[in-house]
Structure 1
Amino acid sequence: MDFVGDIEDAVAGLGAPPGLRLPINAVAVKPKRRSRADRVRGQPLSTPLVPGTQTIYVKTFGCSHNQSDSEYMAGQLSAFGYSLTDEPDEADLWLINTCTVKSPSQSAMTTLISKCKSAKKPLVVAGCVPQGSKDLKELEGVSVIGVQQIDRVVEVVEETLKGHEVRLYSRRTLPSLDLPKVRKNKFIEILPINVGCLGACTYCKTKHARGHLGSYTIDSLVDRVRTVVSEGVKEIWLSSEDTGAYGRDIGTNLPNLLNALIKELPSDRSTMLRIGMTNPPFILEHLKEIADVLNHPCVYSFLHVPVQSGSDPVLTAMNREYTVKDFRKVVDTLMELVPGMQIATDIICGFPGETEEDFAQTVSLIKEYQFPQVHISQFYPRPGTPAARMKKVPSIEVKKRSRELTTVFESFSPYLEMKGCKEKIWITEIATDGIHLVGHTKGYIQVLVIAPESMLGTSTDVKITSVGRWSVFGEILDEPSLQPNKETTRNISKINTVKVSSPIDELCNEDASCCTNTCTSCACLNEKNSSVKTKEALDDRYEGGVKFAHTIQSLFFRRKRLDKSSVEKSAKPVAEKTGHNKHKLAYLDWFLFGIIFLGSVIIVAVLIKFSSVLFSF
Structure 2
Amino acid sequence: MEDIEDLLAGGVGGAPPGFRLPLNAVGINPKTNKSKRVSSKQDQITASNRDSLAPPSLKIPGTQTIYIKTFGCSHNQSDSEYMAGQLTAFGYALTEVPEDADLWLINTCTVKSPSQSAMSTLITRGRSGKKPLVIAGCVPQGSRDLKELEGVSVVGVQQIDRVVEIVEETLKGHEVRLLTRKTLPALDLPKVRRNNFIEILPINVGCLGACTYCKTKHARGHLGSYTVDSLVERVRTVISEGVKEIWLSSEDTGAYGRDIGVNLPILLNAIVKELPSDQSTMLRIGMTNPPFILEHLKEIAAVLRHPCVYTFLHVPVQSGSDSVLTAMNREYTASEFRTVVDTLTELVPGMQIATDIICGFPGETDEDFSQTVELIKDYKFSQVHISQFYPRPGTPAAKMKKVQSKIVKQRSRDLTSVFEAFAPYTGMEGREERIWITEIATDGIHLVGHTKGYVQVLVTGPESMLGTSAMARITSVGRWSVFGEVIETFSSANRETKSREETKPPCSSNVSSCETCTCSAESCGEERSGEACNISGNISRQDDQKGKSEKQETEMREVVVPGSSVANWGFIDKALVCGVFVSSLTILVLLISIASRVLVRQ
Judge same fold: TM > 0.5, yes or no.
yes
> Aligned ranges for residues 300-339 of structure 1 at < 5 Å?
300-339=310-349
Deviation at 1:167, TM superposition (A): 0.8
Deviations 1:127-167 (A, max 9, x none): 00000000100000000000010000001001100000011
Q: Quick check: 2:74–2:200 contact (8 Å CA) kept in 1?
A: yes
Task: Report the number of matched residues.
Answer: 478
* Alignment counterpart, residue 296 of structure 2, candidates 276, 286, 305: 286
> Aligned ranges for residues 61-460 of structure 1 at < 5 Å?
61-460=71-470
Deviations 1:243-297 (A, max 9, x none): 0000000000000000000000001100000000000000001000000000000
Deviation at 1:416, TM superposition (A): 1.3
Q: Quick check: 1:348–1:377 contact (8 Å CA) kept in 2?
A: yes
Query: Could you tell me how far apart the structure 1 residues matched to 2:346 and 2:95 are?
Result: 47
Q: Residue 588 of structure 1 corresponds to which residue in structure 2?
A: none
Query: Could you tell me how far apart the structure 2 residues matched to 1:354 and 1:31 are?
Result: 54
Q: Residue 17 of structure 1 corresponds to which residue in structure 2?
A: 10
Could you tell me which runs of 5 or more consecutive residues in structure 1 were left unpaired when the two chains were aligned: 38-42, 485-519, 525-617
Closer, same or farther in 2 for the Cα pair 1:391/1:161, shift >3 Å? same
Query: Could you tell me how far apart the structure 2 residues matched to 1:273 and 1:9 are?
Result: 39
Closer, same or farther in 2 for the Cα pair 1:32/1:469, shift >3 Å? farther
Closer, same or farther in 2 for the Cα pair 1:24/1:371, shift >3 Å? same
Deviation at 1:434, TM superposition (A): 1.6
Query: Could you tell me how far apart the structure 2 residues matched to 1:118 and 1:45 are?
Result: 13
SS at match of 2:248: strand
Query: Could you tell me how far apart the structure 2 residues matched to 1:423 and 1:272 are?
Result: 15
SS at match of 2:354: strand
Deviation at 1:97, TM superposition (A): 0.2
Q: Quick check: 2:278–2:493 contact (8 Å CA) kept in 1?
A: no
Q: In structure 2, what residue type is equivalent to 1:398? A: V
Closer, same or farther in 2 for the Cα pair 1:390/1:452, shift >3 Å? same
Query: Could you tell me how far apart the structure 1 residues matched to 2:250 and 2:13 are?
Result: 28
SS at match of 1:165: strand
* Alignment counterpart, residue 58 of structure 2, candidates 48, 53, 77: 48
Query: Could you tell me how far apart the structure 2 residues matched to 1:45 and 1:341 are?
Result: 54
Q: Quick check: 2:244–2:280 contact (8 Å CA) kept in 1?
A: yes
Query: What TM-score does the superposition give when structure 1 sets the normalisation length?
Result: 0.75
Which is greater in Rg?
A: 2
Q: Quick check: 2:468–2:489 contact (8 Å CA) kept in 1?
A: no
Q: In structure 2, what residue type is equivalent to 1:424? A: R
Deviation at 1:48, TM superposition (A): 3.2
Query: Could you tell me how far apart the structure 2 residues matched to 1:32 and 1:306 are?
Result: 50
Q: Residue 27 of structure 1 corresponds to which residue in structure 2?
A: 26
SS at match of 1:159: helix
SS at match of 1:331: helix
Q: In structure 1, what residue type is equivalent to 2:7? A: A
Deviation at 1:301, TM superposition (A): 0.1
Q: RMSD of the TM alignment (CA)?
A: 2.0
Deviation at 1:21, TM superposition (A): 1.9
Q: Residue 561 of structure 2 corresponds to which residue in structure 1?
A: none
Query: Could you tell me how far apart the structure 1 residues matched to 2:35 and 2:421 are?
Result: 66
SS at match of 1:176: coil
Deviations 1:353-392 (A, max 9, x none): 0000000000000000000000000000000000000000
Closer, same or farther in 2 for the Cα pair 1:267/1:483, shift >3 Å? closer
Deviations 1:410-436 (A, max 9, x none): 000001111111100000011112211
Closer, same or farther in 2 for the Cα pair 1:158/1:465, shift >3 Å? same
Query: Could you tell me how far apart the structure 1 residues matched to 2:250 and 2:349 are?
Result: 26
Closer, same or farther in 2 for the Cα pair 1:257/1:483, shift >3 Å? closer
Closer, same or farther in 2 for the Cα pair 1:371/1:308, shift >3 Å? same
Query: What TM-score does the superposition give when structure 2 sets the normalisation length?
Result: 0.77
Query: Could you tell me how far apart the structure 1 residues matched to 2:220 and 2:291 are?
Result: 20
Q: In structure 1, what residue type is equivalent to 2:305? A: N
SS at match of 2:175: coil
Q: In structure 2, what residue type is equivalent to 1:350? A: G
Q: Quick check: 2:204–2:253 contact (8 Å CA) kept in 1?
A: yes
SS at match of 1:357: helix
Q: Quick check: 1:29–1:166 contact (8 Å CA) kept in 2?
A: no
Query: Could you tell me how far apart the structure 1 residues matched to 2:483 and 2:61 are?
Result: 49
Q: Quick check: 1:66–1:97 contact (8 Å CA) kept in 2?
A: yes
> Aligned ranges for residues 538-557 of structure 1 at < 5 Å?
none
Q: In structure 2, what residue type is equivalent to 1:182? A: V
% of aligned pairs identical? Answer: 77
Q: In structure 2, what residue type is equivalent to 1:7? A: I
SS at match of 2:364: coil
Q: Residue 5 of structure 1 corresponds to which residue in structure 2?
A: 2
SS at match of 1:466: strand
Closer, same or farther in 2 for the Cα pair 1:522/1:278, shift >3 Å? farther
Query: Could you tell me how far apart the structure 2 residues matched to 1:468 and 1:156 are?
Result: 47
Larger RCO: Structure 1 or Structure 2 (Cα < 8 Å, ≥ 6 residues apart)?
Answer: 1
Query: Could you tell me how far apart the structure 1 residues matched to 2:445 and 2:160 are?
Result: 37
Query: Could you tell me how far apart the structure 2 residues matched to 1:286 and 1:378 are?
Result: 31
Deviations 1:464-512 (A, max 9, x none): 000110110001112334389xxxxxxxxxxxxxxxxxxxxxxxxxxxx
